[in-house]
Amino acid sequence: MPVLQYSYSSGHMDFVYDKLGTQHRTIRLVTIEPGAWKDEIRCSLQTVVFDDKPSYQALSYVWGDLESTRTIYLNNHEIQVTESLWYALRRLRGQSPRTMWIDAICINQKDDEEKSCQVAMMRDIFKECKEAILWLGEDECDISGPDIVPTSPSARRAFELLGILSIDDHLPEIPCFSVTKNAEVTLKDEYRPHLEALRALAKLPWWTRLWIVQEAAVPANATFVYASESCPADVLVASKVVFLKHSTCCDFWWTELFQQQRQTGIAFNAIFDSLIPILSTRGRYQAGIRHDLFLQRHTCCQLQATNPRDLIYALIGILRDHESAKFMVNYSQPTEEVFAQAAFYSMLQNGWKVLLGQRHRAPGIPTWLPDWFVSSAVDNSVWVELRRKMERYKLYSASREHAPFFRLEKDTLLLAKGLKVGTIQDVGPVLNASNFLQTVEQWSKLLGTPNFHPKTPPPIGSLEDAFWRALTCDTSRDVEDISWNPYRRLGVSRDYSAFYEWWTDVRGGFLSHPSSWGSDVWTANCYHRMFLTEECRIGIAPGNACAGDEVHVLVGSNVPFILRRGHVEESYVVGDCYLHGVMDGEAMTDGGEWQARVQWVELH
């Protein structure tokens, strides 16, 4: 039988893999032999026919640092595995043999053809396992000391608190909270260590890995294991569902918790922000609800993958069945083609909103692909900005009701029909947190008048009217609305009065009460700049927009896009934008004459 060779690290004889058969769906399973805590780890590897329904557990874990390795024995051969996997094997080893599927051992990682086939089977592998072990990792307890297996007080406290939070009672009735004489809900002192333990659990690298979304979602039975402790996965899912439910059924105490006990509220928020992509996906999947690629990629845009292709491949298994069938896992395919084809398919389902978001030109990646689709977001702010863009996107109709026209050519070239509606003549500085007031004042100079904030509403259609509306992309959200409900379009007198009051407070330094206006202005403009077109229209564009860039309404899109001309017919996407006087289809209402000005544009 042909064999392929793969070594976990240099310094040892290559471990020889038998090539998997092609007549049946086959996988390898590893059996962890029994042993004491201090014993060396010994395993055996066997090949089985998957459709014979072998009994096994599947391991979900973080590979960790590939340079930090430990020795184990596989079929009596000494090999190296990452330290993260070594700790998992040590903890999971019991008094009797334990058979598992572990990707790093069971897949020949040096054979792209085999890896592509096995990765395509991963949904089935995790779905058919008798139990998935979701290994979160070790904590800081001493695991190198005595022969006795060490226990982890931190892991025990974290799981205990999650179990308490899964109790479906109102906040004051949950054991870890108490109500003061002033009717304030507070976390009991004896549960402060539990909160710190839970905070440590939420910071474990496992929660940042994209593959774990599928691995945690599809198994019928799944158990979290953290150091010496374990907890059923559905307890964590319930804790997330119940805790977030308090924002409606216990709104008074919820507000008190986040205002009077601010640090406690922030801690809980940060914890569940880390857990939500994984736990929400498991809850939906087990209930028979699937997202399409666009929504699932958006939900998981903060999670990371070592191989950039896995930003797509890791999600295929949890899509709707007819969508999963559209994608073929192929690690030999160039990364940019994987992204382009996935984005194009998403656009066929969701239109131009797939391309909303920031862009930083990565080598080889087409500019029409936004950062969130082709890379992992570094922090929560990128996800929040994107979510708000999508909420506002629903309120515009720059293309009116016209269907989109686009097609993918030459693997990564996107051809689209577009209508040029302006050329940028001048731009203001980029707005960030340290220069808010100064930047807005400089933006006002684009109007050629210092009276950019009159007390009474400026005439509709004037530059002053365009200015204050552009500052919030002509949208707002009520102060009291703490939900994720969509924004609304601005009115006239009531909204302008609220805006003027807020702006006066900003300039006078009197922001003593909560206001959504500050949030609206910031989220519409952070790291963006105001621009003025040659046609005297005001807009908000990404920070890298510059004079000479063109504004196009790509047919079918709710918002315009900034394009930068290259050689001959080439255009590069700078990003989506707000252009006052175009957002409601005004450029496409001249009795159809606009259609004669529509041209195909090549987006590179």
Phi, psi of 442 (to 5 degrees): -70, -35
With H, G, I as helix, E, B as strand and everything else as coil, classify residue 87: helix
> What number is the average pLDDT over the span 35-60?
95
| pLDDT score recorded for residue 565 | 94
**Mean pLDDT for the stretch of residues 82-90:** 95
Q: Judge whether residue 464 has pLDDT over 90.
A: no
Asked if residue 560 lies in contact with residue 454, where contact means CB atoms within 8 angstroms, the answer is no
Better pLDDT: 149 or 181: 149
Q: What is the DSSP string of 204-228?
A: SGGGGBTHHHHHHHS-SSEEEEETT
User: HEC string of 353-382?
Assistant: HHHCCCCCCCCCCCCCCCHHHHCCCCCHHH
CA distance 375 to 364: 13
Would you say residue 162 has pLDDT above 70? yes
Phi/psi at 444 (5° precision): -65, -25
The position carrying tokens 């108490």 is: 178
pLDDT-derived band at 9, boundaries 50, 70, 90: very low
Residue with tokens 């929040």: 384
The residue type at 250 = C
The 3-state DSSP class for residue 599 equals strand
Q: Using 50, 70 and 90 to split pLDDT, how confident is the model at 82? A: very high
Is there a contact between 111 and 4 (Cβ–Cβ < 8 Å)? Answer: yes
Tell me how many degrees the CA angle 588-594-597 measures, rounded to the nearest 5: 135
Rounded to whole angstroms, the Cα distance separating 33 from 568 reads 65
Task: Give the Cα separation of 109 and 116 in Å (integer).
Answer: 10
Helix or strand or coil: residue 438? helix
Assess contact for 198 and 235: CB atoms under 8 A. no
- 246 pLDDT tier (thresholds 50, 70, 90): low
pLDDT confidence of residue 4: 32
Distance CA 99, CA 122 (A): 17
Residue 221 structure tokens: 């039975």
Who contacts 378 (Cβ-Cβ below 8 Å, separation ≥6)?
Answer: none
With a cut of 80, say whether residue 402 has pLDDT above it: yes
The number of beta carbons lying within 10 Å of the beta carbon of residue 438 is 11
Largest CA distance in the chain: 85
Q: How many other CB atoms sit within 10 Å of the CB of residue 215?
A: 28
Token pair 């690690």 in the structure block, residue: 331
The predicted-structure confidence for 308-317, as pLDDT tens digits, reads as follows: 999 999 999 8
CA 441/CA 374 separation, integer angstroms: 35
Contact at 8 Å (CB) between 418 and 552? yes
Q: Which two tokens stand for residue 202?
A: 């939420």
- If one counts every other C-beta atom within 10 angstroms of the C-beta of residue 207, the result is 21
Please give the Cα distance from 161 to 240 (Å, whole number): 12
Whole-angstrom Cα distance, residue 275 to residue 280? Answer: 8
Q: Where are the alpha helices (DSSP H) in 107-146?
A: 112-120, 122-128
User: In this predicted structure, what is the pLDDT of residue 77?
Assistant: 92
Mean pLDDT (whole number) for 481-491: 66
Per-residue exposure over 448-481, b if at least 16 CB sit within 10 Å of its own CB, e if not = eeeebbeeebbeeeebbbbbbbbbbbbbbbeeee
**pLDDT for residue 173:** 79
pLDDT top residue among 287 and 136: 136
For 558-588, letters b (16+ CB in 10 Å) and e give bbbbbbbeeeeeebbbbbbbbbbbbbbbebb
pLDDT of residue 441: 79
Could you tell me the pLDDT band of residue 249, with boundaries at 50, 70 and 90? low
Range 266-271 average pLDDT: 72
Q: Are 221 and 228 in contact (CB under 8 A)?
A: no
Cβ-Cβ contacts under 8 Å for 68 (sequence gap 6 or more): 82, 83
Q: Tell me the backbone φ, ψ of residue 472, rounded to 5 degrees.
A: -120, 20
End-to-end CA distance of the chain: give it in Å, rounded: 46
- Cα torsion angle, 443, 547, 360, 394, sign: positive
| Cα separations in angstroms, 541 against 53, 471, 580 | 55, 11, 12
Instruction: Give the separation between CA 467 and CA 453, rounded to whole angstroms.
Output: 9
The first and second tokens of residue 335, run together, are 């990364």
Q: Which two tokens stand for residue 583?
A: 């957002």
Which pTM value belongs to this model? 0.83
**Res. 322: pLDDT tops 70:** yes
CA–CA separation, 428 and 452 (whole Å): 15
Ranges 55-59, 76-80, 586-590, most confident: 55-59
pLDDT band at 142 (very low <50, low <70, confident <90, very high): low
The one-letter amino acid at 308: P
CA distances from residue 180 to 177, 192, 256, 437, 566 in whole angstroms, order as listed: 10, 17, 11, 41, 66
pLDDT in tens, 190-217: 999 998 998 899 889 999 899 999 999 9
- Asked whether residue 528 carries a pLDDT value surpassing 90, the answer given is yes
Cβ pair 127, 75 in contact under 8 A: no
Residue of 551, 579, 580, 578 lying closest to 564 (CA atoms)? 551
Number of C-beta neighbours around residue 192 at 10 A? 12
